[in-house]
């Protein structure tokens, strides 16, 4: 505390004790937090806190290709690359949106109860002032960290376009959805001026803004797109085409979730350590639980089931990770694994083709996590950072917390679902006049695969795959040369064990048309 702020200009005789920003300090009167030409603004913050949040930012970014690999592995081969593409593209689109006005709408210092203002439009005056999240890190760092949350939320939601959604309308949807849906929910949940924050809702790392919002948005997107061709028949095989991709995606997500949850402490302290511990424990328990539930019926130790259970456990612990003790993480993992497993059957009851079970894992898992946080949030866990004070949950005899958590979950989910339907309805309505904006691919395009039609590239070399699997003599005398011509004509699409032959589908389509 005896360190001095040394002015950059040696001609100025200014010495000030190192201390936090105070309301009456000359620095606090500036929106940027001080003049960097006169002062070394770094001295107001601990280097360890800044280093940890920068690292956490990178870890959350790592989750986005993890989502892409996870979704890609679950989909069919002919649309695998498009899901990777959309996941990474969401980072680019939302990073610009966050710079443009997203951060200001969510975390401006003079925000309203539901949404912020445009004081920080284009990151104007976002520099060294204490952030609205905590005075321990500056606005600039809080901005980039929360920007990764906005990116991962959209990446989770756009998995709903799997195998039948067109890309340009989806990109437009990303920008609009983040502006009208994510930013307001983030504001009312995490901004100190937000109505849920002021009521006392507890959401440490995104149970509602990230998981419930993205899960309900994915459900709405699935409804607006309609069911995939052949849905409900043997023509559409639900088996994942690449389990290895699912495992890789799960590992990326699991590692990145340490930055997602532990990083939400916004400081290198014991609360961050506790969040890391319960995050890992809930993931492990969730994976084992899902496996056991599946084994009871299938008598198989499913790799996909284990990975799905890990994600379910991670989703469930997210809102409570900075509030609950270690033993509660076991309950989060078990409840998350069981609830999300059974929720995968909801799509049949809802008559919706949620191809990747995004609603079941993220919306249901986020809701379970929010409710369990009401029961197991402990005041002494929250205070591990040295300054956070909460009334706790039921274990602290704070019974009304359950009402706050339910209100947060229901309002966030309904707002996301209805808002998404309206946004997509407007975009698709525009598509009646300008076909480029139509949400859904045509039947011919769906048969060929989104990779072929929208990207022109593939996750695999289909011609070489066919050469490896079948010799020319195995195909009724068809020469290798004619086989290559067929694949060239079909855009390189393959015939494989987990999807219906594209050439046969296209011929059937042409005959019917």
pLDDT tens per residue across span 215-245: 999 999 999 999 888 776 665 666 888 999 9
Contacts 24+ apart (CB under 8 A), 402-405: 402/371, 402/374, 402/375, 404/196, 404/199, 404/200, 404/201, 404/202, 404/374, 405/201, 405/202, 405/370, 405/371, 405/373, 405/374
Q: Are 158 and 171 in contact (CB under 8 A)?
A: no
Whole-angstrom Cα distance, residue 32 to residue 49? 20
Residue-level pLDDT at 313: 98
Q: Are 200 and 391 in contact (CB under 8 A)?
A: yes
Question: Read out DSSP for 174-221?
Answer: HHHHIIIIIHHHHHHHHSTTSHHHHHT---SS-IIIIIIHHHHHHHHH
Strand partners, 16: 5
Average pLDDT over residues 400-426: 97
Whole-angstrom Cα distance, residue 70 to residue 85? 13
> Around Cβ 24, how many Cβ atoms within 10 Å?
6
Span of 85-94, 335-344, 367-376, 453-462 with lowest mean pLDDT: 453-462
Report the largest interatomic distance among the alpha carbons of the chain, rounded to a whole angstrom: 91
Between 63 and 163, the more confident residue is 63
Q: Give the residue from 346, 342, 341 showing the smallest Cα distance to 306.
A: 341
Between 512 and 243, the more confident residue is 243
The structure's pTM equals 0.86
**Burial class of residue 29 in the structure, from the number of CB atoms within 10 Å of its CB (0-12 exposed, 13-18 middle, 19+ buried):** exposed
Categorize the per-residue pLDDT at 462 as very low, low, confident or very high, splitting at 50, 70 and 90: low
Span of 71-80, 97-106, 213-222, 378-387 with lowest mean pLDDT: 71-80
Q: What is the mean pLDDT of the chain?
A: 86
Whole-angstrom Cα distance, residue 344 to residue 366? 14
pLDDT beyond 90 at 6: no
Categorize the per-residue pLDDT at 456 as very low, low, confident or very high, splitting at 50, 70 and 90: confident
Angle at 116 between CA 222 and CA 20, to 5 degrees: 125
**Terminal alpha carbon distance of the chain:** 78
Average pLDDT over residues 185-210: 96
Whole-angstrom Cα distance, residue 454 to residue 456? 6
Categorize the per-residue pLDDT at 399 as very low, low, confident or very high, splitting at 50, 70 and 90: very high
The kind and range of the H/E element at 4 are strand 4-5
Residue-level pLDDT at 140: 97
Q: Give the residue from 247, 198, 172, 53 showing the smallest Cα distance to 439.
A: 172
Whole-angstrom Cα distance, residue 463 to residue 465? 5
> Around Cβ 401, how many Cβ atoms within 10 Å?
22
Chain CA centroid to CA 442, Å: 28
Task: Report the percentage of the chain scoring pLDDT > 90.
Answer: 71
Q: Are 83 and 449 in contact (CB under 8 A)?
A: no
Q: Are 323 and 390 in contact (CB under 8 A)?
A: yes
Categorize the per-residue pLDDT at 108 as very low, low, confident or very high, splitting at 50, 70 and 90: very high
């Amino acid at each position: 505390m005896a360190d001095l702020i040394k002015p950059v200009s040696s001609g100025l005789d200014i010495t000030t004790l190192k201390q936090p920003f105070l309301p009456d300090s000359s620095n606090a009167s500036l929106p940027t937090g001080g003049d960097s030409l006169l002062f070394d603004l770094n001295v107001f913050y601990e280097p360890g806190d800044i280093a940890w949040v920068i690292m956490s930012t990178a870890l959350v970014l790592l989750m986005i290709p993890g989502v892409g690999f996870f979704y890609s592995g679950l989909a069919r081969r002919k649309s695998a690359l498009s899901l990777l593409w959309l996941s990474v593209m969401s980072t680019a689109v939302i990073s610009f949106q966050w710079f443009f006005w997203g951060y200001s709408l969510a975390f401006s210092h003079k925000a309203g109860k539901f949404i912020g203002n445009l004081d920080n439009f284009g990151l104007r005056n976002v520099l060294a002032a204490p952030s609205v999240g905590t005075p321990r890190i500056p606005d600039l760092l809080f901005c980039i960290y929360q920007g990764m949350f906005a990116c991962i939320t959209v990446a989770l939601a756009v998995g709903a376009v799997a195998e039948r959604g067109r890309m340009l309308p989806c990109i437009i949807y990303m920008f609009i959805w983040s502006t009208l849906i994510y930013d307001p929910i983030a504001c009312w949940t995490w901004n100190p001026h937000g109505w849920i924050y002021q009521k006392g809702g507890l959401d440490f790392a995104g149970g509602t803004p990230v998981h419930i919002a993205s899960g309900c948005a994915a459900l709405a997107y699935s409804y607006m797109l309609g069911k995939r061709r052949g849905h409900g028949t043997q023509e559409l095989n639900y088996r994942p085409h690449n389990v290895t991709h699912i495992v890789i995606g799960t590992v990326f997500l699991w590692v990145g979730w340490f930055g997602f949850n532990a990083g939400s402490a916004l400081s290198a302290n014991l609360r961050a350590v506790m969040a890391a511990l319960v995050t890992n424990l809930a993931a492990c328990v969730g994976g084992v639980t899902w496996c056991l539930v599946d084994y009871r019926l299938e008598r198989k130790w499913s790799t996909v089931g284990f990975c799905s259970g890990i994600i379910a456990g991670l989703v469930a612990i997210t809102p409570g990770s900075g509030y609950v003790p270690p033993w509660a993480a076991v309950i989060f993992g078990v409840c998350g694994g069981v609830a999300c497993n059974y929720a995968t059957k909801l799509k049949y009851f809802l008559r919706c083709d949620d191809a990747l079970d995004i609603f079941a894992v993220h919306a249901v898992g986020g809701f379970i996590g929010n409710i369990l946080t009401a029961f197991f949030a402990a005041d002494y866990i929250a205070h591990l950072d040295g300054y956070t004070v909460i009334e706790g949950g039921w274990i602290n005899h704070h019974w009304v917390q359950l009402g706050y958590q339910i209100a947060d979950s229901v309002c966030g989910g309904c707002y996301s679902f209805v808002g998404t339907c309206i946004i997509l309805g407007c975009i698709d309505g525009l598509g009646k006049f300008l076909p480029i904006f139509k949400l859904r691919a045509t039947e011919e395009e769906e048969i060929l695969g989104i990779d072929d039609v929208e990207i022109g590239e593939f996750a695999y070399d289909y011609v070489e795959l066919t050469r490896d699997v079948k010799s020319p003599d195995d195909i009724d005398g068809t020469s290798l040369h004619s086989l290559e011509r067929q694949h060239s004509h079909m855009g390189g699409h393959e015939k494989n064990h987990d999807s219906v032959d594209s050439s046969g589908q296209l011929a059937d389509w042409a005959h019917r048309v």
